Structure 1
Amino acid sequence: MIYKHLTALLCFTFLPLAVGCGGPAADAPDDSQTTITMDGPPPEFDDVHDHPSEGPHHGTLVELGSEEYHAEVVHDEQSVTIYILDASATEPVAIDAADLTINLTHDGSPEQFKLVADPDEGDGEGKSSRFTLADAELVKHLDDDAAAPTLTVTIAGTPYRGQIKHDHDHDGHDHAGHQH
């Protein structure tokens, strides 16, 4: 009698495994045979950065904040100029700062460079959209990827930081006669 109960228990325990669970339901569609057709090429996506790849003075752009502003870094062999630009990186924005700062690392030590306000035409009294510094050492550091230069500036009471990245290759590139 024990064998009958044991046999019945085993049948009910292992019967679902023998029959199978988790197989495709009878009314579920067979996805392996589904074909998708398109009426044309996939849609194009707009670039998230809706601004130019270089500034109006052909310099390197630096994003400030969540692109509320941009800075444009332009330099020749002896000096650096930074322009503060709007969110679209096309129009100057005159701010009431007397200077801005570039922090970088050189030979493992931090260095700091202050660029002073040099108001551009039309900036208004006590404001500037342009900041300059004549310093050949800073120019060399801006072209050194290991220096990791960072721009800091306060605009309307809010401090902003942005990484300055050198955008072009120097191989076969002559710096004489132009700024970048």
Structure 2
Amino acid sequence: MGRPATALLLLVTLLWNSGCNSKPAPRPKSSLDKAKTAAPTKAVHDHPQAGPNGGKLIELGKNEAYHAEWIGDDESGQVRVFILDSSAKQELSIPATPPIVISAKLADEELEYRLEAVKPTGDPAMAAEFEIVNKQLVTLLRQIGHGVTAHLNAEIEGQVYSGEFPHDHAHHH
């Protein structure tokens, strides 16, 4: 393993061990806080918290035009992404090429991962599921919010959509 990869792995391991126990800095109360809690209203996100395959959701586009669902397997290193409709309930086939791209940033290092279509069908080839096998990517995605940020980019109906991987507050180390 080369020096950059070893350094990256060491940094990710240190971040991994830091855990989710850090509390955000307190912020002053404002009149906006009172307005937010004054009356219960319908939830802004009218979609499930998990995707139809049990994965975590990523919002794509304004007003959540689409969603992506991602599932990472720590042991195998497999990352699967499913493109979903605006309700985050139905899979949506998109062109198999170009591939979906995940851009991850750790400290000053930016990494790019290309996910290829799984079982594309038709002409032109279409798929709703994309995957890559890369243990480093799974580790990075588990560290979102702890010095790591990541975005998913996918072309849907001729337009490129980008969505940020959210921090999983429930993830335990």
Mark yes or no: TM-score above 0.5: yes
Could you say which residue in structure 2 is the equivalent of 1:47? 43
CA distance in 2, matches of 1:171, 1:160: 30
- Looking at structure 1, the residues matched to 157 and 140 of structure 2 have their Cα atoms a distance apart, in angstroms, of 29
The answer for the alignment partner of 1:114 in structure 2 is 114
Q: CA RMSD in A?
A: 1.9
Q: For residues 143 and 65 of structure 1, do their structure 2 counterparts lie closer, same or farther at Cα, with a shift above 3 Å needed?
A: same
**Within 5 Å, which residues of 2 pair with 1:64-83?**
64-66=60-62, 67-77=64-74, 78-83=77-82
Contact 2:106 2:149 in 1 (8 A): no
Shift of 1:46: 1.4
Change (3 A) 1:50 1:76: same
In structure 1, give the amino acid aligned to 2:79. V
The answer to whether the 8 Å contact 1:72/1:83 transfers is yes
Map of 1:89 onto structure 2: 88
Task: List alignment gaps of at least 5 residues for structure 1.
Answer: 1-41, 173-180
Unaligned runs of 5+ residues in structure 2 are 1-37
Once residues 107 and 48 of structure 1 are traced to their aligned partners in structure 2, the CA distance between those partners, rounded to angstroms, is 32
- Preserved contact between residue 73 and residue 82 of structure 1 (Cα < 8 Å): yes
Partner residue of 2:136? 137
User: What TM-score does the superposition give when structure 2 sets the normalisation length?
Assistant: 0.68
Larger radius of gyration: 1
TM-score (normalizing by structure 1): 0.66
Q: Which has the higher strand share?
A: 2
What is the number of residues matched between the two proteins?
A: 129
